[in-house]
Structure 1
Amino acid sequence: MPSSEVSATDQWEIVVFLCTPAAYGCHKRGVTEKQKRALRMFLEGMPELSDVRFVDRAGAYGNFRQDFASNKTLLKAVWAKDLPESFRLKVKQGADRDRVRIAAARRTGVDMAIDLAEIYDDPHRTSEWDASVFLCVEDSAMRPCLSGRGKANGAVVTPEERKAIVAAIKRTPAVESYVYEDQATAYRNFRELYADNEALIDATLLSDMPESYRLKLRSEADWNAVSRRLARLRGVSQVYNQRCMDAKLKLDVEYGRGDLPESKVCAPR
């Protein structure tokens, strides 16, 4: 690759979150000013880095409010003091990103270091569907499959439940289109997606794959309301909401707040 060409991976930063008293692994201690100075000096001395940028709580909070401007519930739940400080690192083209991340994570006063390239460039993360309605399988451990279904508790989705689920999907205005995915199709897609993980494929059986309905939703619709409504139907084990999952991921890897409850992260827009 020519030296002037920058790959997609090179565009992503490594985020180094600093300790707060609430951070797991920081032993209830926040980072000190002395530790921050030592860390900055260490990072600026790394030959693999082209830029080292410090983001204080005020800066993180300003970015947070822009990224989640449409989620009033989340904005009311998070303040500047709730967000950790961080260093944002730009890695030089061709440099060993793992070495940088590991070296930064081991420094005193650091909670964790995350390479955004590993997160956002991962093909396993994306989905062509906006929402997936997964159905109960035999011996499921999911709570919705174990109670509230009468004689069907703990059993595979029944024909009556399946009929009601399809009817609910069809009469939902937010649903633009949908397809049914049986176990065989799900298993084939799973094997193709994780073809590079032989151990995972060997440990997963066809019977482990749930049937599902894959939905395309209208962009202007309230995806969270749709997901909650469909998740309450008998025979549904869970509903995967892509927009909600993207928000949770962003909060975790870019703001260090993956601990926030889904009720706030995925609140109505």
Structure 2
Amino acid sequence: MKHVLCRVTVAAVVALAATAAPAVSAAAEPPPEIGAGDDWEIAVFLCTPSAYDCHKRYATAEQRRDVERFLKGTPEVTQVRHVSRASAYASFRKEFAGRKAVLAGVRARDLPESFRVRVSGVADRGRIRALANRRPGVGVAVDQSESHAGATAISEWWDMSLFLCMKDSALPACLRGRGKANKKAVTAEEKKAIAAAIESIPEVESYEYEDQATAYRNFVEANPDKQELISVTKVSDMPESFRLTLRPQADWAAPRRRLARMPGVASMSDKKCNLLTLRLWSEYGLHGPRSGTEGCP
């Protein structure tokens, strides 16, 4: 199950891009260039009590030695380096030194120790990652080439997306607090109120409304190689949404807080939050930001 979890996590933070045409705000930094020859590492994070399928325990010393022997004994592996928990925490503190909310959400004991693995250019990276994931004491192995590709995709997203309630949605925001509209698809009145709220927020530079037909068309265009998925997806499966571009240097927290509470809004996607989630996962083996972390709802 662990070898599936990594793919699911990376895919989860880029999946929303499939329903929207790329839009880069004036404030967005250009995405990192990723070439086929770039020597990205595979990060093999060892168990911590909070890691999936680790039974609330850290990896033992014997498990750590076994994982190291396995990695060094794999023919395609060219380098293995160990990153201790203390070293990982020091790097984490340095990287997020200016972001107190992020630092406050993570303790030293939350971070896993890891092995960082480089492989030859002809190596089957997916196979090595999958085999590492099966070793006792491994929390999860992450191919950082996939994570960097994910970050590039996220950088092309809208700054914020508001996904609207659909009929029979199980999301709490759609089930209550909407009066007679509870458990129903977003109403015309709710959409009008949301648009008015967006227009009144000074941090918003521009926005677009995306109906289900447009969302489906974008989804199909973004997934030309996934015909099986397209064949079982209907227009009615796609949520309506508002796509927002924020002004350069805007405070993202205020519009996020205000719009997330609007009746008819099922959920929000925040580019900053998604990039943070992916970074914490791929570089530090953390399962996403804690509640209240900077850049997230």
TM-score range, shorter chain: 0.7 to 0.9
The residue correspondences of 1:29-48 to structure 2 (distance < 5 A) are 29-48=57-76
Query: Which of the residues 226, 230, 236 maps onto 2:259?
Result: 230
2:248 and 2:94 map into 1 onto residues whose CA distance is: 19
Post-superposition shift, 1:111?
1.7
1:152 and 1:40 map into 2 onto residues whose CA distance is: 56
- The answer as to whether partners of 1:227 and 1:240 remain within 8 angstroms in 2 is no
Q: Measured at CA, do residues 77 and 156 of structure 1 come closer, stay the same or move farther in structure 2, by a change above 3 Å? A: closer
Partner of 1:155: 184
Partner of 1:172: 201
Post-superposition shift, 1:74?
2.4
Partner of 2:83: 55
Runs (5+) with no aligned partner, structure 1: 1-5
Query: Is 2:236 aligned against 1:207?
Result: yes
Query: Is 2:94 aligned against 1:66?
Result: yes
- The answer as to whether partners of 2:105 and 2:290 remain within 8 angstroms in 1 is no
- The answer as to whether partners of 2:48 and 2:110 remain within 8 angstroms in 1 is no
Partner of 1:256: 285
Q: Give the structure with higher Rg (CA).
A: 1
TM-score, with length taken from structure 1: 0.88
Moved more, 123-132 or 55-64: 123-132
TM-score, with length taken from structure 2: 0.80
Moved more, 65-74 or 180-189: 65-74
- The answer as to whether partners of 1:10 and 1:93 remain within 8 angstroms in 2 is no
Query: Is 2:136 aligned against 1:108?
Result: yes
Post-superposition shift, 1:58?
1.5
Which letter maps to 1:166? Answer: A
Q: Deviations over 1:148-173 (max 9, x none)?
A: 11122222222222221111111212
Q: Deviations over 1:135-188 (max 9, x none)?
A: 222222222122111122222222222221111111212111111111111000
- The answer as to whether partners of 2:154 and 2:271 remain within 8 angstroms in 1 is no
Structure number with higher relative contact order (C-alpha < 8 Å, ≥ 6 residues apart):
2
SS of 1:258 mapped into structure 2: coil
- After TM superposition, what 4+ stretches of structure 1 lie above 6 angstroms from structure 2? none
Post-superposition shift, 1:207?
0.9
Query: Is 2:219 aligned against 1:190?
Result: yes
- The answer as to whether partners of 1:224 and 1:244 remain within 8 angstroms in 2 is no
Which letter maps to 1:49? Answer: V
Partner of 1:3: none
SS of 1:15 mapped into structure 2: strand
- The answer as to whether partners of 2:157 and 2:271 remain within 8 angstroms in 1 is no
SS of 2:292 mapped into structure 1: helix
Moved more, 38-47 or 122-131: 122-131
Runs (5+) with no aligned partner, structure 2: 1-33
Q: Deviations over 1:83-138 (max 9, x none)?
A: 01000111221211012112222223212211122233247655431111112222
1:127 and 1:205 map into 2 onto residues whose CA distance is: 25
Which letter maps to 2:119? Answer: V
